[in-house]
Chain A
Amino acid sequence: MSDIVQTTAVSSAEERPQPRLVKMVRFGVGEKPTAAISIATALAVATLWWLVAELDLVPHLFLPRPGEVLTQVGVLYYDGYAGASLSEHIFASLFRIVLAASIAIAAGIPLGLLMGLNRWAKGILDTPIEFYWPLPPLSYLPLMIIWLGIGETSKITLLVLAMFAPICLSAQAGVRSLPIERVNAARSLGARPLELFTDIVLPSALPEILTGVRIAVGIGWGTLVAAELIASTRGIGFMIMSAAQFLATDVVFVGIGIIAICAFAFSAAIRFIEAVLVPWKGKL
């Protein structure tokens, strides 16, 4: 017989304090909180702005005081700018981007999925998309204006074109990343082609599609403001451009602030949609 060594847990007489909790050392930022640092940075930048303006380190024309910008928000709100109220300017910009994004999403997702699934669709649509999408949208804005006039149609068409490509390409990538086991599983459970599309392909591609929408909205804001700078009488981009011509730096600041808030709200909304629609993203 071999010796059996009995080990029993020995409880120490003295009560131990809370043990030191340890973790595997991570690489990169990981899950460490950064919000407090970001807020502190924002406060520091604002303080620096206030100090530089207050001490007249740069000419007042270049850098208005924070207080003046805030006052200007009130003035613009009550008096409007260039014959339109502030909310009309904001609404004009929001209308353009929301309408264009809706069209780009409505066209980009089905066409992208189709291109991922069908050889003919891919072959035919690849040619125009690969040709136009690397072009900067502003390079073909003059052409849009010649063809479609100076009104809303040319601007919205420009925005749709700029936002369509990333959505369409991401929907294609979503189909490509679909694991074959998932398709085979559904087929062996009796899925018909239409069910395969609605129940397997579309939801599988959704994370990639939402990433594409996020990129598209970013491109959309950039293109929108640039288009309004050139050809418009309404919109935040127009307001900034027009104010700059009168060297009304405080109005320029207000315009930039409004765009920043809108773009941030859009990106937060998409992150929220992602959290609701694809909570499983990256987990399986």
Chain B
Amino acid sequence: MLKVDHASVFFAARDGRTVHALDRVSFEIPESGFVVALGASGCGKSTLLNAIAGFLPLSDGAIILDGRPVRGPGADRGVVFQKDALLPWKTVVDNVALGLKFAGVSKSERRARAHELLRLVGLDEFAKALPYELSGGMRQRVGIARALATEPDILLMDEPFGALDSLTRDQMQELLISIWYRTAKRIFFITHSIEEALFLGTQVLVMSPRPGRVVARFDLDFVRRFAATGDARSIKLSTEFASLREEIRAILHRAEDFRSAA
């Protein structure tokens, strides 16, 4: 279980003022939970992910993964970045195997494991390609395979599909769900797309900026329904999906109006 407990972050802005980036955020990600943080830019969702990944210390509060407090980055939390952050000089298979190399796994063994993961994301035939030879969607799939390679306890995904076209994005969402369903990994996922959040999350945290905080939570089961039926269209067209989408849109707009009125 990942437990975020009253996490607060304050930054120093360039003009010396204090920016309240994250205000007492608390939530839990249970076994095989898929938690999506949804909000406009500046709502602190990336700050939250960076804190869970260990790239950023908290000003106050705690993040506890399976009983151990998070103190820095580690292979128990796999991160998928918005910009893929692959190593341009390594082939796809060696990029996927990077974490295993750091873990001291022998070359033949880590290659075999990497090929297995590339099969999982459907890129086995591109194992020997270099990252720049792949499309954006393929690079992101390599990023997912790389994050899975060290068998982390949780996958942290920072708007991983934000830069993709909408068709590729739909495919990637379905691929991610099938990976989640098969590996039963916990996932913390960031997005600014309401539809993406609703479709993917078992829980959606709606966040609002200044200070960055959680303003609403929804427990959902669209993702389990999709995993069982494989029919994305009927889910996204259902009245239930549409009414939740409008409800969340209203919450986000209200936060926006409140902010401009203040």
Binding site for B on A (CB under 8 A): 179, 181-182, 184-192, 195, 199-200, 203, 206, 278-280, 283-284
B103 within 8 Å of A (CB atoms): yes
Which residue in A188, A191, A206, A280 is a CB contact (below 8 Å) of B53?
A188
Cβ A188 vs Cβ B73 within 8 A = yes
Cβ A179 vs Cβ B85 within 8 A = yes
CB pairs A–B below 8 angstroms (18 shown): A179-B85, A181-B83, A182-B87, A184-B53, A184-B79, A185-B79, A186-B98, A188-B79, A189-B99, A189-B147, A189-B150, A190-B99, A190-B102, A199-B101, A278-B89, A280-B130, A280-B131, A284-B132
Give A279's nearest chain B residue, CB to CB.
Answer: B130
Q: Which residues of B contact A284 (CB under 8 A)?
A: 86, 88, 131-132
Query: What separation, in Å, do the CA atoms of A187 and B132 have in the docked complex?
Result: 22
CB distance from A131 to the nearest CB of B (A): 32
User: Interface readout for B70-92 with A: 1 if CB under 8 Å, 0 if not?
Assistant: 00111101110101011111000
CB distance from B11 to the nearest CB of A (A): 16
Which residue in B75, B85, B132 is a CB contact (below 8 Å) of A190?
B75
Query: What separation, in Å, do the CA atoms of A106 and B88 have in the docked complex?
Result: 25
Query: What separation, in Å, do the CA atoms of A184 and B84 have in the docked complex?
Result: 12
Q: Which residues of B contact A279 (CB under 8 A)?
A: 130
CB distance from A85 to the nearest CB of B (A): 44
- Tally of A-B residue pairs with Cβ under 8 A? 74
Cβ A185 vs Cβ B85 within 8 A = yes
Q: Which residues of B contact A283 (CB under 8 A)?
A: 88, 132
Which residue in A179, A184, A189, A192 is a CB contact (below 8 Å) of B98?
A189
User: Interface readout for B132-173 with A: 1 if CB under 8 Å, 0 if not?
Assistant: 100000000000001101100000100000000000000000
B181 within 8 Å of A (CB atoms): no
Cβ B87 vs Cβ A200 within 8 A = yes
Q: Which residues of B contact A203 (CB under 8 A)?
A: 87, 89
Most buried by A among B72, B77, B89, B149: B89
Most buried by B among A185, A195, A203, A283: A185
Cβ A188 vs Cβ B75 within 8 A = yes
Binding site for A on B (CB under 8 A): 53-55, 72-75, 77-79, 81, 83, 85-89, 98-99, 101-103, 130-132, 146-147, 149-150, 156
Give A182's nearest chain B residue, CB to CB.
Answer: B85
Cβ B87 vs Cβ A190 within 8 A = no
Give B73's nearest chain A residue, CB to CB.
Answer: A187
Cβ A181 vs Cβ B102 within 8 A = no
- 8 extra interface residue pairs, beta carbon distance < 8 Å, beyond A179-B85, A181-B85, A184-B81: A186-B98, A188-B75, A190-B75, A190-B99, A280-B88, A280-B131, A283-B132, A284-B88
CB distance from A209 to the nearest CB of B (A): 13
Q: Which residues of A contact B103 (CB under 8 A)?
A: 190
Q: Which residues of A contact B54 (CB under 8 A)?
A: 187-188
Query: What separation, in Å, do the CA atoms of A113 and B94 have in the docked complex?
Result: 25
Query: What separation, in Å, do the CA atoms of A187 and B75 have in the docked complex?
Result: 8
Most buried by B among A179, A184, A200: A184
Query: What separation, in Å, do the CA atoms of A199 and B149 have in the docked complex?
Result: 17
Q: Which residues of B contact A181 (CB under 8 A)?
A: 81, 83, 85
Give A179's nearest chain B residue, CB to CB.
Answer: B85
Q: Which residues of A contact B132 (CB under 8 A)?
A: 280, 283-284
Cβ B88 vs Cβ A189 within 8 A = no
Q: Which residues of A contact B73 (CB under 8 A)?
A: 184, 187-188
Cβ B81 vs Cβ A185 within 8 A = yes
Give A195's nearest chain B residue, CB to CB.
Answer: B102
Query: What separation, in Å, do the CA atoms of A283 and B87 have in the docked complex?
Result: 12
CB distance from A201 to the nearest CB of B (A): 12
Q: Which residues of A contact B81 (CB under 8 A)?
A: 181, 184-185
